[in-house]
Chain A
Amino acid sequence: MKTQNQRGWLFVLPVLILVAFNALVPLMTVVNYSVQETFGDNLFFWHGLGWFEDVLRSERFHAALGRQVLFTATILIIEVPLGVAIALTMPRKGFWVPVCLVLMSLPLLIPWNVVGAMWNIFTLPDIGLLGYFLNNVVGIDYNMTQSPLAAWVTVIVMDVWHWTSLVVLLAYAGLISIPDAYYQAAKIDAASGWAVFRHIQLPKMKRVLTIAILLRFMDSFNIYTEPFVLTGGGPGNSTTFLSIDLVKVALGQFDLGPAAAMSLIYFAFTLLVSWLFYTIMTRDEQ
């Protein structure tokens, strides 16, 4: 039982100040833009909720949102089970544990634009390892700059390459916290491999998997740098995800009003999904 103590507020004060400075001021700036119309020269006019209506009705926003949801759903469906499977097959002790952990963590520590550049070099049709292999050895006509399908597959494979290790690390941490006694008990009961997974390993991994899925959802939903460097959102608009589209509107066309309205809708959507997920997953802890 936690002590009722208002001193807690004193302890969270530094965090509150630092985060509020970074979060509230820019957020209010965005809110400010979202309800105004400008004709340049720093002249702004009240525009009410007009931009929000425009954005919510625009085909372009629907398309970007659709691509974003498809992308996030795909990578979650691939990365979470794959990460758990790899964590289950990893060695539990001995020399190979740190080797595995270090090698697997590597992609997580590469700056995002380097990840994009690296995959760009890797998939160039004539001089990239993967591109050359697919085109000349396997014989598939693979060119990311022309085929939307190839661009999609590449962006997804890149994300799987980049982020599955996060799920592996978290799931592995959950697994090694299970005492040996649990496995011995399962052995005495002659439990099957599936039963051990379903009733011992999965419940023990629940909290770490919640963290992993939440982190992956938030970060993939906000993805910008890697696909931007890799495909530039193309060919056409095929890999223009929400953030890329947003930056195009805000900095490319300098339409601050619609961009701000779009940001807020986008943020609200992320918030809603994360809140639902967080509430459902932590419900039995209360």
Chain B
Amino acid sequence: MKARSLVPILYILFLMLPIYWLVAMSFKTTNEILGGFSLFPQVWTLDNYRVIFTDPTWYWGYFNSISYVTLNTVISLAAALPAAYAFSRYSFMGDKHLFFWLLTNRMAPVAVFALPFFQLYSAVGLFDTYLAVALAHCLFNIPLAVWILEGFMSGIPKELDETAFVDGYSFPRFFTTIFVPTIKAGIGVTAFFLFMFSWVELLLAKTLTAVYAKPIAAVMTRTASSAGYELGLLAAAGVLTIIPGAIVIYFVRNYIAKGFALGRV
């Protein structure tokens, strides 16, 4: 083993410590947690998890989060694909300004918009639906998707398009049967980022929901504060919010490395 591999190992160790603590906490009883410091759970208990899996408020929270995140990823990708193509292939009036304007929305402090968002989505009657959160998250996810996809598409030579058109492909057929498969690694990486930013965002998701579409992370804060100091339950819920992310990373693990290299990035 070389000395240089020490850096990543130490870094990963640093990353794992707080996660380990969360996992250890989730298997402890409340008495043990409040009773004092222990490195490992003395008495292993699944009670914290049992509470979550038997209480509809908790497990619906998961379902809600996954629903709006998936919806957002689909909407963002569908809208961003043609736009990114236009930015990478055509020059049209105001394209550079438009591109920067899109990026500015990625910069908008979400806290600024919380109240206006509530008023807007209440006014159009979407308050407390998956669609409301999915659409609201488009604010920062679509600019990101356009940005990343444009990088990938610019890495594909224009000759690909021209050859296809000479061969008599119509534009929609070329786009769906040739172009999209060519950049599927790029789409994978983009989907990963979209999922990530929508899954972790909470302020808007919490503002735009009340009962039916409330995300898991919001259920967590409310339950934890109303039921007193239930650290074990809080930890178990936290552990469960890490799992969907871990699954997504596992699926795109090869795309992350290969995918970025393929694009212009």
Q: Residues on A close to B: CB < 8 A?
A: 2-12, 14-16, 18-19, 21-23, 25-27, 29-30, 85-86, 89-91, 97-98, 100-114, 117-119, 121-122, 126-130, 132, 136, 161, 164-165, 168-170, 172-174, 176-177, 207-208, 211, 218, 221-222, 224-225, 229, 242-244, 246-247, 250-251, 256, 263, 266-267, 270-271, 274-275, 278
Pick out which of these stretches binds chain A: B41-49, B50-58, B176-184, B230-238.
B230-238
Interface string of B82-124 (1 = CB under 8 A from A): 1101110111110100101011111111111111110110000
**Chain B residues within an 8 Å CB radius of A107:** 15, 19
Q: List 13 A-B contacts (CB under 8 A).
A: A7-B90, A8-B87, A8-B92, A11-B83, A12-B83, A18-B75, A22-B105, A29-B120, A102-B249, A106-B245, A122-B21, A221-B107, A229-B221
10 nearest A-B residue pairs (beta carbon): A109-B245, A173-B260, A26-B116, A8-B92, A11-B86, A263-B112, A8-B86, A29-B116, A8-B90, A22-B139
| Known A6-B92, A12-B82, A102-B246; 6 more pairs at CB < 8 Å | A9-B86, A15-B146, A104-B11, A168-B11, A173-B259, A222-B109
Interface string of B245-265 (1 = CB under 8 A from A): 110111001101101110011
Known contacts A15-B146, A19-B142; is-contact A4 B245 (Cβ 8 Å): no
Q: Could you tell me the distance between the alpha carbons of A184 and B107 in the complex, rounded to whole angstroms?
A: 41
Mostly, the A contact residues are: helix
The reply to whether B90 and A2 contact each other, CB–CB distance below 8 Å, is yes
The reply to whether B109 and A242 contact each other, CB–CB distance below 8 Å, is yes
The reply to whether B135 and A21 contact each other, CB–CB distance below 8 Å, is yes
Q: From residue B197, how far is it (CB to closest CB) to chain A in Å? A: 9
Partner of A19, one of B11, B102, B249, B261: B102
The reply to whether A110 and B200 contact each other, CB–CB distance below 8 Å, is yes
**Chain A residues within an 8 Å CB radius of B90:** 2-5, 7-8, 11
**Chain B residues within an 8 Å CB radius of A266:** 109, 112
The reply to whether A104 and B15 contact each other, CB–CB distance below 8 Å, is yes
Q: Could you tell me the distance between the alpha carbons of A86 and B11 in the complex, rounded to whole angstroms?
A: 8
The reply to whether B114 and A247 contact each other, CB–CB distance below 8 Å, is yes
> What bracket does the count of chain B residues touching chain A fall in?
35 or more
Determine if B202 is an interface residue (Cβ-Cβ < 8 Å): yes
Determine if B80 is an interface residue (Cβ-Cβ < 8 Å): yes
Q: Could you tell me the distance between the alpha carbons of A18 and B143 in the complex, rounded to whole angstroms?
A: 11
Determine if B74 is an interface residue (Cβ-Cβ < 8 Å): no
The reply to whether B241 and A267 contact each other, CB–CB distance below 8 Å, is no
For A243, the closest partner residue in chain B by CB is B111
Q: From residue B224, how far is it (CB to closest CB) to chain A in Å? A: 8
Determine if B136 is an interface residue (Cβ-Cβ < 8 Å): yes
The reply to whether A114 and B253 contact each other, CB–CB distance below 8 Å, is no
Known contacts A11-B86, A15-B79, A15-B80; is-contact A101 B36 (Cβ 8 Å): no
The reply to whether A23 and B139 contact each other, CB–CB distance below 8 Å, is yes
Q: Could you tell me the distance between the alpha carbons of A256 and B147 in the complex, rounded to whole angstroms?
A: 33
The reply to whether B21 and A109 contact each other, CB–CB distance below 8 Å, is no
Q: Could you tell me the distance between the alpha carbons of A26 and B140 in the complex, rounded to whole angstroms?
A: 14
**Chain B residues within an 8 Å CB radius of A22:** 105, 117, 135-136, 138-139
For B248, the closest partner residue in chain A by CB is A109
The reply to whether A90 and B89 contact each other, CB–CB distance below 8 Å, is no
The reply to whether B242 and A106 contact each other, CB–CB distance below 8 Å, is yes
Known contacts A4-B91, A100-B8; is-contact A129 B112 (Cβ 8 Å): no
For A4, the closest partner residue in chain B by CB is B91
**Chain A residues within an 8 Å CB radius of B238:** 110, 114, 117-118
